[in-house]
Amino acid sequence: MLDICLLGTGGMMPLPYRWLTSMMARCEGVNLLIDCGEGTQVAIKEKGWSPKPIDVICFTHFHADHISGLPGLLLTIGNCEKTTPLLIIGPKGLERVVNAMRVIAPELPFEIQFHELRENEEVIDFAPYKIEAYKVSHRVTCYGYRISIDRKGKFDAARAKELDIPLKYWNKLQHGETITDGDITYTPDMVMGEARRGIKVNYCTDTRPVPIIADYAADCDLFICEGMYGEDEKEENAKEHKHMTMMEAANLGKVANPKRMWLTHYSPSMNKPDEYIDKLKKICPVIETARDGWSVELGYEEE
């Protein structure tokens, strides 16, 4: 089971009743956060989730509305007596930016490990998550993230019997171990079916609607995407500042065909994101104008 919460839906600046855009994931007791603007730690508490065991933070880019809440969150995590390392992932310059901001949070009871993204696309394994980062198109270097929980194939008991594999090895093979018994070697692929559909969430803000976003959002369980402006006449504005309109996001959704799609990162000038929903649903029927604190529990498909 993967729990996802869209902690906030704002862009540029935090507002009363609208936190800055940020997403939290929980799976098997390991917590992941994407972006941390001013107030994100309050949004976590408001939702009733705990900042205690945040294990990995992914930054899309270093504009203040996506990272300004980091020093406060680090101190709050420290006050929760975390002692295990925290992994922070982000574009080139990550360590320099985070260390500069830590002028007001110099002492922490846990280690910070950095993973600076250097390639256009990277994969980071952080069990149980597979984290895929892909470069998008903003005024500064910016990445989208796809967070996946992979799922193994089914164990084929009939095949195991056929191959005379002793029962005592079945469990180990199911967990991916290779076993050598005298001259014989048993490998998981002998008894495991093809990997089944896992869970995939794609998260992307602060970019023009480049095709790679739809590639990563294809067939996802949830696609969280920037929809900064609603009015048609704001498209020029979006182009100039390298943001995305709701209609542009809907067109990405149409191509990607995710199971669910949530818009976020609304301009402070947008009072009622719902206003545009009918028009958007004509392009992408599963699209929704998300609100702060929306969450969903994503499970494997029945099989």
241 is in an annotated binding site: no
Distance in Å, CB of 95 to a copy of itself, minimum: 12
- Closest distance between a copy of itself and the C-beta of residue 241, in Å? 12
Nearest partner of 192 among 168, 162, 159, judged by Cα: 159
* Binding flag, residue 158, a copy of itself (CB under 8 A): no
Give the relative orientation of helices 94-101 and 70-79 as an angle to the nearest 10 degrees: 70
Length of the chain as a residue count: 303
Write down the least CB distance from residue 148 to a copy of itself, Å. Answer: 29
CA distance 73 to 68: 10
C-alpha dist (Å) from residue 53 to 48, 81, 90, 163, 166: 14, 9, 19, 44, 40
| Closer CB to a copy of itself, 1 or 64, in the complex | 64
75 counts as binding a copy of itself under rule CB under 8 A = yes
Residue 150 interacts with a copy of itself (CB under 8 A)?
no
Residues with Cβ within 8 Å of 167's Cβ and at least 6 positions away in sequence, in order, are none
Determine, following the binding rule CB under 8 A, whether residue 38 of this chain makes contact with a copy of itself.
Answer: yes
Among 191, 249, 188, smallest CA distance to 223 is for: 249
- Judged by CB under 8 A, the residue of 4, 27, 34, 65 near a copy of itself is 65
How many residues of this chain interact with a copy of itself, rule: CB under 8 A? Answer: 31
Instruction: For the CB of residue 86, give the shortest distance to a copy of itself in the complex, in Å.
Output: 16
Please identify, using beta-carbon distances, which residue of 79 and 171 lies nearer to a copy of itself: 79
Catalytic positions are: 65
Q: Indicate whether 21 belongs to the interface with a copy of itself (CB under 8 A).
A: no
Using the rule CB under 8 A, is 243 a contact of a copy of itself? no
Q: How far apart are CA 160 and CA 102, in angstroms?
A: 55
Q: Is 161 in the site for a copy of itself (CB under 8 A)?
A: no
45 binds a copy of itself (CB under 8 A): yes
Tell me: is residue 65 an annotated ligand-binding position: yes
By CB under 8 A, is residue 42 in contact with a copy of itself?
yes
Per CB under 8 A, 96 contacts a copy of itself: yes
283 near a copy of itself (CB under 8 A): no
Provide, rounded to whole angstroms, the least separation between the CB of residue 139 and a copy of itself: 11
Our CA angle for 299, 301, 303, nearest 5°, is: 135
Cβ atoms of 177 and 155 within 8 Å: the answer is no
The residue with tokens 């029945």 is 302
* Tokens 């995305």, located at residue: 244
C-alpha 19/C-alpha 6 separation (Å) is 10
Contact 243, 250 (CB under 8 A): no
Q: Read off φ and ψ for residue 241, nearest 5 degrees.
A: -95, 5
Query: Contact residues for a copy of itself (CB under 8 A)?
Result: 12-16, 37-39, 41-42, 45-46, 62-65, 67-69, 71-72, 75-76, 79, 96-97, 100-101, 103-105
Where is the binding site for Zn(2+), in residues? 61, 63, 65-66, 138, 206, 265
